[in-house]
Structure 1
């Protein structure tokens, strides 16, 4: 793609004045911003992004940083606001401006910019970019959702999770961008909090984190900037609008509400740390003003409608959950079945159940963080399950599953990250009755890079699938999931990048599953033959899976 030069930006910006509405008066901070000298180096080192589309518009994002890895988290920016111009185009060559305006990048918000663009046409592509002083940003591609009363065409949706910078290259982001999806869901662990060489893989990490473990606002800003400076991640953000939710590593491993990972080792500054992490997360994500954090709280669960075709219910399973009942790992835990315990909190649960009742979508898609279906790793009478996942909150899971059944949701699909492996399975009301009806489907994406290369194996040979017959697929390589959603069918390609410890590896589809309209559950339609060169000497064991998911500092 060839990008227009600065002169073209200025000319089209002036020409747009007669066709679009610009801000008649600037805020006081913007007025001050125009009175100081220009920046001396390119501030668009972190790329551009868009997100949370509706049928009239979307959010545009950028953050100014001349020195992204500056230890103070300020990105080498002077402590003053800057006026940033933005333009939206209806063509990829950026010749026809349809909306334009100015925004202010203020130092108190890390010089980030969040523009909520509206009054656009539904169901079509747009392109956008920013300018400050003499510098012009890269061009991003985005789109609006279909009109609420229409289905629109087929929807290409990709989802990803778990990108540990130190464990490998972000090649999955690059390959995802090349697929040109209509929308991308990021389901958490966008960045990791650890200092260098704390969370390591066999053979040693491939890259290093800058700075200490993230605890302060400066720490989190620096860490986000290090990730955002990665060209593969920038390519994925520029390729399509994103819907983002966090999991644990955006703050602290396995945190729960106001409780840190290890409450037996108190963090007296944990609430201040939470406030800093939330603020930095907002500063670095294409989120609407409804998600501006207020102290230690941030509204992240929300609903995005894609015409009549799909409704995305984006959940937050960290901020409101009860603490894990028996620790974070695999346990036989009586607290897991306590009906008083919740992973969503009462208010979010009520919001979700009401959304099911109100939905008229063809597909109701729940974008969330941790494994939803039961995963018992014991073939005996005791249930040994992960207490950090929905298995640690059985009653909460049952209420939500029963909620979409009672609401007669047409097609319920849960999307999941967290566990660093591809999975697919059927969802049940009663997992103790394998012959009982399926009531939904779950697709789980592997990690972008976390735990390194991984290895291929026969997916049917994994012991979890024998113990849990509702689980249909497993693969322990890195990658992402690319879906195509039509009125009558949703297909999911489990994309694999076999090597992330070397840059720029190719990707391929390991398996494809489909979900048919009004037929709950997943059905495999394609399985790539096992590559002997990538196969491990022994098949994956229960112990391997548990170790992979719990071997964290």
Structure 2
């Protein structure tokens, strides 16, 4: 497969800089909108709009209002030329949009209880159809507010002649590198949008709740990085308002807003949505925190994350009942060629010990492990992508312990490795083929091939793992590999330690193209300038 044509960096920056350079943005409290008073100016969309978890027949539509209002959406099906279908041009699916009639959907009220966010689950949509979307809020007087426009395409419902493409990355606004107007904002997102993917996988660290963002930051080479700032990002997040402010801060960036309006999101979370390398029950010793109980921080961080993600059926919220978190791990069915299994490797993660326990410790938890094995066994898709927020064989130290699955011992599985061994052995036993792991977390890009012929543990079939990120954070790595599951480094590239996103050369994302009929799975690792660093094409096993 030919690589895509890389967008010109000057073009990227020119388009991205328009709003990022608007230094008239309010710098205090801009991330939290106050409720609009009845009779005041119309409702606006301060965080843009998103679509997410798009399948062959469904999509989640998300936006945030400047005050209390009810979310509405109108979907217009488009033809192959990008023009709206008109009534009567198709006889398929009356009332679904494929017949040319717009679909009008009314969602819930956005209130302070959800930081004025709201979502609509659109169902029974026609497969393989591109929709133009219009989202707006109505106030209590029935006045329509600002209308946001975007688009998305449902996944194919049958094997077609067209390819399916997507991008993935991790690590947004970490190490104090936020929205810098001097470089055109988070321009890595514009590089991803420029390749016109069908959807986007965010592998976690969608925010850095534990990393304050200051007006200026000295880079390793002495250059000064300048940030747009808000009150909520000026310190570590501890209150629900501060966690919410981290998410709304990222959505001030024009590059992110433009991409999310056009490219559906499928996201998971990792540690920095709460605090660095956390596990349930941990008590922090960090003096930056007045709230030291990680369970309290994680509950607030999870609620804010779920409020700001376009995810289906993850929130139960009704007057008087409060917030009830639901599971983050889920399956997104993308037609006959692809199933995406989204993991949650944080909720049930065990304590960060040295990882050398003789008994099994947890990364997924038993319920999620069995869900994944069952889902893989039932999947009829040619390719099964597992989106993991932590890599499998990379050693990630946490003080004297290990944040990672790997324990740097290179021997028989111990601790969390025993859980991974059960997963890989189970996949082999049920004869599930064509599994690819995609991940981020470590702030460099890499391609790893795992094989029993090189491993201390041998009861598994060979597979690939590809790593991408950061997209707008400090660069690090590469890290040591653990030999328990026989990884071989096919490629790796890292920027300088704590290197900034300024030149884009140490920031990375991955692009996947699945050929028609699922006949190949091509992976490219690309820097934030759009320059391809590595390519590997896989072919399916029968």
Between 187-196 and 433-442, the greater mean CA deviation after superposition: 433-442
Contact 1:413 1:441 in 2 (8 A): yes
In the TM superposition, residue 167 of structure 1 has moved relative to its aligned partner by 1.8
Q: Name structure 2 gaps, 5 residues minimum.
A: 1-34, 87-100, 138-142, 179-184, 408-415, 495-505
Contact 2:156 2:335 in 1 (8 A): yes
Q: CA RMSD in A?
A: 3.4
Q: Does 1:243 align with 2:266?
A: yes
Alpha-carbon displacement from aligned partner over 1:88-108 (angstroms, at most 9, x marks no partner) = 111356675521122222221
Change (3 A) 1:470 1:395: same
In the TM superposition, residue 407 of structure 1 has moved relative to its aligned partner by 1.7
Cα distance in 1 for residues equivalent to 2:85 and 2:263: 20
Counterpart of 2:104 in structure 1 is 100
Alpha-carbon displacement from aligned partner over 1:30-76 (angstroms, at most 9, x marks no partner) = xxx99x735526621211100111222200000113xxxxxxxxxxx
Cα distance in 1 for residues equivalent to 2:51 and 2:401: 34
Q: Does 1:322 align with 2:350?
A: yes
Contact 2:171 2:205 in 1 (8 A): yes
Q: Does 1:425 align with 2:441?
A: no
Cα distance in 2 for residues equivalent to 1:106 and 1:415: 36
Change (3 A) 1:45 1:376: closer
Aligned-partner SS, 2:104: strand
Change (3 A) 1:464 1:84: closer
Between 36-45 and 234-243, the greater mean CA deviation after superposition: 36-45
Cα distance in 2 for residues equivalent to 1:186 and 1:360: 24
Counterpart of 1:187 in structure 2 is 203
Q: Does 1:162 align with 2:204?
A: no
Change (3 A) 1:350 1:334: same
Q: Does 1:127 align with 2:132?
A: yes
Aligned-partner SS, 1:49: strand
Counterpart of 2:57 in structure 1 is 56
In the TM superposition, residue 240 of structure 1 has moved relative to its aligned partner by 1.5
Counterpart of 2:244 in structure 1 is 221
Change (3 A) 1:396 1:199: farther
Cα distance in 1 for residues equivalent to 2:121 and 2:446: 36
Cα distance in 2 for residues equivalent to 1:429 and 1:63: 49
Counterpart of 1:334 in structure 2 is 356
Counterpart of 2:314 in structure 1 is 290
Counterpart of 1:301 in structure 2 is 329
In the TM superposition, residue 206 of structure 1 has moved relative to its aligned partner by 3.5
Change (3 A) 1:102 1:512: same
Change (3 A) 1:431 1:208: farther
Contact 2:425 2:459 in 1 (8 A): no
Cα distance in 2 for residues equivalent to 1:221 and 1:376: 28
In the TM superposition, residue 190 of structure 1 has moved relative to its aligned partner by 0.7
Cα distance in 1 for residues equivalent to 2:162 and 2:324: 40
Cα distance in 1 for residues equivalent to 2:171 and 2:454: 27
Aligned-partner SS, 1:299: coil
Cα distance in 1 for residues equivalent to 2:324 and 2:106: 30
TM-score, structure 2 length as denominator? 0.74
Contact 1:184 1:241 in 2 (8 A): yes
